[in-house]
Chains A and B, each alone.
Chain A
Amino acid sequence: MLPVTYYVALSAILFILGAVGVLIRRNLIVIFMSVELMLNAANLAFVAFARYYQSMSGQVFVFFVMAVAAAEVAVGLSLIVAIYRARHTINVDDLSEMKG
């Protein structure tokens, strides 16, 4: 069995990839996917630690996180669709009606 460090390192890499993706990508859908990557990095860490501690609760938390992520997808995608219908673009740089 691989030591838990490997899993945690992988989850950290995924989390950083997600965070960097949110900051540098300009397409709303890709930004959104990067956020999901961050949540799934946390899921991986939860499962790895749950295995390490032999505790079921860590695995149950993953279900909570997945349910919340699904709710966020429902709201987020409908917002993106609404924006696309109105402006025919999903580039964040075009979303700058307000400044100051």
Chain B
Amino acid sequence: MTLNTLGSDFVILLPLTFLLGWASLLLLVDLFVPQERQDTMPLLAVLGLVATIVLSIMQAGQSAWAFQGMAVVDGFSTFFNVLFAISGLVGVALAYDYLRQMDLARNTYYTLLLFSVGGMMLMSAATDLIVIFLALELLSIPLYVLSGFARPKGESEEAALKYFLLGAFASGFLVYGIALVFGATGTTSLAGVVQAVHGGALLNPMLFIIGAALMLIGLGFKVAVVPFHMWTPDVYQGAPTAVTAFMALGAKAAGFAALLRIFLTAFPQVSADLTPVLWVLAALTMFLGNVVAIAQRNIKRMLAYSSIAHAGYLLMALVPYGQQGLSGDVSASLLFYLVAYALSNFGAWAVVMVLERQDDQGLGLDDYAGLGSKSPFLAACMTVFMLSFAGVPPTLGFVGKFYLFRTVLQGGFVWLAIIGVLTSLISAYYYLRVVVIMYMRDGDPQTHPAPWLRWTAGVMAAGVVALTFFGGPLFNWASQALLTAF
């Protein structure tokens, strides 16, 4: 390969290469920025992310291969690039106020955040199993460090270590699965895998199925699917809340981006053998996440179990992956729901951060008593997010769940859809409990002034309301965010 073609590869993946280059530059800049000037690094990070969004949008409608078929630019990756870069922006906004109110202001935070966003973007563009593995590590390793950012606070260290150990354990499964798929097909590129299977060149079909299952376990850990979810509540509770908000959306969305690409483009032509496995995982995840959330009195833990439950709903839409003609619906409904989940997720965590105090106080459900009269704006925002999480009509969450259930029913999995609806009903109990506590009980919650957190909560609530009524363009975009076929 000549240097010239290598250069054009970098141009094809420009949003990603720019962001990673910018992040590397910020590593150096960080050394020369005095600690007192706390605004410089967040500002530079925001500039980089905005430029990334512009570059991604400029690529809309294009589709090209890079690095000899190891990565691709298509509607799907562009959609995720924009989603991840915007999550990064929200992550900076949330961290800016939160780190100062918790006395954690250290500039490294923003650099690590950018690297993690880069990993997520690479994940959505990867078309080679090894690149998926690299992207997963690039997004995870900064998150391990960020989880421990509140060090020397014990809970934060503990969360970082638990996340790290289980994350590394999951990577072990993923990479061994890749090795077995490589053994069965002689290649790790998704296109090559499809070809080998079509050509009947499988060394041993058993090897291939085991490899695919191990990869599913590895990614299942990342997106927190039951029974690979045990780390989630502890990590979400112990990590600094700004990090939790970012990884609850980012790591999950990136994991699903990889699952979608692997399952929709490479595996349906290979076999639908994993459908029953996915069915059981989705049902278990929806059920356990929602039921255990009821027992939680700590809002961070409650939202952690809620995020597990939402991973279940997303996985549910992936179950009909093997059916011809349905892959467009699977992908569109998943992308739409991810956006709906992102808005409510960031907004709800922003409200949690406004109420959180330095000594770990302000995180119990009882601390929300009286918020309705003390701070009507925050309470109204939180109500919007809780209703949307629960999927109460006509909120955005309802519209998103409607598309998910429609996909599942089209695939003919009636019982799975019924389980989904029933668990949604269960979830309404603990989501609405927060609303009831905020408005019906007396109390004197203490809130931080935190302008950026309040702005974020307000913007996210406005987004949920606006997309509830005008979600059409978003769904169209999600439907057009097609995966490149092999």
Residues of B within 8 Å of A46, CB to CB, are 179, 182
C-alpha gap A55/B145 in the complex (Å)? 36
Contact, CB under 8 Å: A80 / B155: no
Of A38, A72, A98, the residue contacting B237 (CB under 8 A) is A98
- Residues on the A chain within 8 Å of B188, using CB: 57, 61
On whether the beta carbons of A35 and B165 are closer than 8 Å, the reply is: yes
The docked-state distance in angstroms from the alpha carbon of A79 to that of B168 is: 13
Complex CA–CA separation, A42 to B173 (angstroms): 9
Give the dominant DSSP class at A's interface. helix
B234 to chain A, nearest CB (A): 5
B179 near A35 with CB under 8 A, answer: no
Q: A42-B175, A75-B164 are in contact. Are A8 and B158 (CB under 8 A)?
A: no
CA distance A86 to B317 in the complex (A): 44
Q: A39 CA to B172 CA in the complex, in Å?
A: 5
Q: For the complex, would chain B's binding face be called helix, strand, loop or mixed by DSSP majority? A: helix
- Among B155, B186, B233: residue with most chain A CB under 10 A: B186
Per the bound structure, the CA–CA distance linking A39 and B133 in Å amounts to 12
On chain A, the number of residues with a Cβ less than 8 Å from chain B's Cβ atoms is 43
Interface string of B289-317 (1 = CB under 8 A from A): 00000011010010000000000000000
Chain B's closest residue to A5 (CB) is B204
Q: Which of chain B's residues have a CB closer than 8 A to the CB of A76? A: 144, 164-165, 168
- A79 engages B148 (CB within 8 Å): yes
Interface residue? B134 (CB, 8 A): yes
Cβ–Cβ contact A8 & B183, under 8 A? yes
Residue contact B130 to A64, C-beta cutoff 8 Å: yes
Provide the residues of chain B in CB contact with A64, threshold 8 Å: 130, 133-134
The answer to whether A68 and B301 touch (CB under 8 A), given A28-B161, A100-B233, is no
Q: Considering only CB atoms, which chain B residue lies closest to A65 in the complex? A: B175
Interface of chain B residues 145 through 182 with chain A (CB within 8 A): 145, 148, 151-152, 154-155, 157-162, 164-165, 168-169, 171-173, 175-176, 178-180, 182
Most chain B CB inside 10 Å of its own CB: which residue of A15, A49, A86: A49
Return chain B residues, CB-CB under 8 Å to A45: 176, 179-180, 182-183
Smallest CB-CB separation from A76: which chain B residue? B164
Hey, which chain B residues are within 8 Å of A68, CB to CB?
133-134, 137, 171
The answer to whether B161 touches A72, judged by C-beta atoms less than 8 angstroms apart, is: no
Of the residues A18, A32, A55, A82, contact of B165 by C-beta under 8 Å = A32
Identify which of A22, A32, A72, A97 contacts B141 (C-beta below 8 A).
A72
CB distance from B150 to the nearest CB of A (A): 12
Give the Cβ gap from B42 to chain A, nearest Cβ, in Å. 23
A19, A41, A42 interface centre (most CB from chain B within 10 Å): A42
Q: Which residues of B contact A58 (CB under 8 A)?
A: 182
The smallest C-beta distance from B136 to any residue of chain A, in angstroms, reads: 9
5 cross-chain pairs, A with B, having the tightest CB-CB distances, nearest first: A38-B172, A45-B179, A49-B183, A42-B176, A42-B179
